[in-house]
Structure 1
Amino acid sequence: MSSGAETVTREFTIVIDAEPAVVWVALTSPEYTTEWWFANTVESTWEVGAPIGYLDERGLPETLGEVLVSEPPHRLATSFHPVWSEEVREHEGTRVEWLLEAFDDLSDPPRTQVTLTHSGVVPGSVLDREISPGWSYLLESLKKLLES
């Protein structure tokens, strides 16, 4: 991404029938990410400043970054550097934040509103065109996994 380019923020929200702690585990555990994140395994210690990587089935990175905020089980932010194709590799400097908010409505099962915010995206870029369907698919996959 060239410096000085205009950027936008894309936001995606879904409600999942699970407690925030359960959603957090699914976000941060490799045994769960393989089930909902394009069969990728996540690797990180989840400490602020730690690297994060999503690796494909061959062990090759698809997305790299650094943990910027880690407040289990409610908030996680990372830098986001896509490397899954040549077309998106230039898009460094974006940020992804997950906000997990429990509903206070005594519903059974407990519910969590998951808000994913991807900022620093150049409008109309290849990355911009890929993240909208990509994040929507991933959130639906996460919901399906946790509610089945």
Structure 2
Amino acid sequence: MSETRHADTTQVYRVYIKATPEQVWDAITKPEWTDRFGYGGRTDFDLRAGAPYQTRPSEAMVEAAVDAPWPVPDVIIDGEIVEVDQPRRLVMTWRLLMDPAVATEGFTRLTYELEPVGAATRLTVVHELAGAPQLAALVAGEGETQGAGGGWPWILSDLKSLLETGKTLAQ
């Protein structure tokens, strides 16, 4: 997996997953999958341009944040669907609400691109982060050593592991 552009304005991650584009698409967009990898959280999508979406925290996330400086909100990520080309491309606005300071940075733009490559799918995630330096650091995984997580590298590695082995990295 690689980051290929300016970490403070645009981050690009690419991973190859031994699964079909449809399987990867389902994992990204179906609530029964979104809660199983990365940091968890059930995302409810209405996959139509202009439709809002929300991610609610998992019980484990709420429990883990008991000693955090602020409580985990009922909605941890929100945004709007911009473009859908199932199972090839999903573009949305994206705002992290877990940290009040990061939430004030507002919405960023997130794009998933899926392309079949032999028996695998090349998943490219493009996160446009201009004007959101705190979020850029978080999603790059810069807070991993302080317990803030590994950002997109962790999430995509966990997704790959789940789809290829049936288990997440923590299992």
Deviation of residue 93 (structure 1)?
3.0
From 114, 125, 130, the counterpart of 1:121 = 130
Q: Distance in 2 between matches of 1:126 and 1:142?
A: 24
Deviation of residue 68 (structure 1)?
0.3
Identity of aligned residues (%): 26
Deviation of residue 45 (structure 1)?
1.1
Q: Unpaired runs of 5+ in structure 1?
A: 1-6
TM-score, reference length from structure 2? 0.75
Matched to 2:13, the amino acid is F
Deviation of residue 57 (structure 1)?
2.2
Q: Distance in 2 between matches of 1:20 and 1:111?
A: 8
Q: Distance in 1 between matches of 2:20 and 2:130?
A: 30
Query: What pairs up with 1:31-42 in 2 under 5 angstroms?
Result: 31-42=32-43
Runs of 4+ in 1 over 4 A off after TM superposition: none
2:148 is equivalent to residue 136 of structure 1: no
Q: Does the residue aligned with 1:88 lie in a helix, a strand or coil?
A: helix
Report the equivalent of 2:24.
23
Higher fraction of strand? 1
> Greater RCO between the two (CA within 8 Å, min separation 6)?
1
TM-score, reference length from structure 1? 0.86
Q: Unpaired runs of 5+ in structure 2?
A: 1-7, 60-72, 142-150, 166-171
Q: How many residues are paired up? A: 136
Q: Does the residue aligned with 2:140 lie in a helix, a strand or coil?
A: helix
Deviation of residue 86 (structure 1)?
1.2
Report the equivalent of 1:147.
164
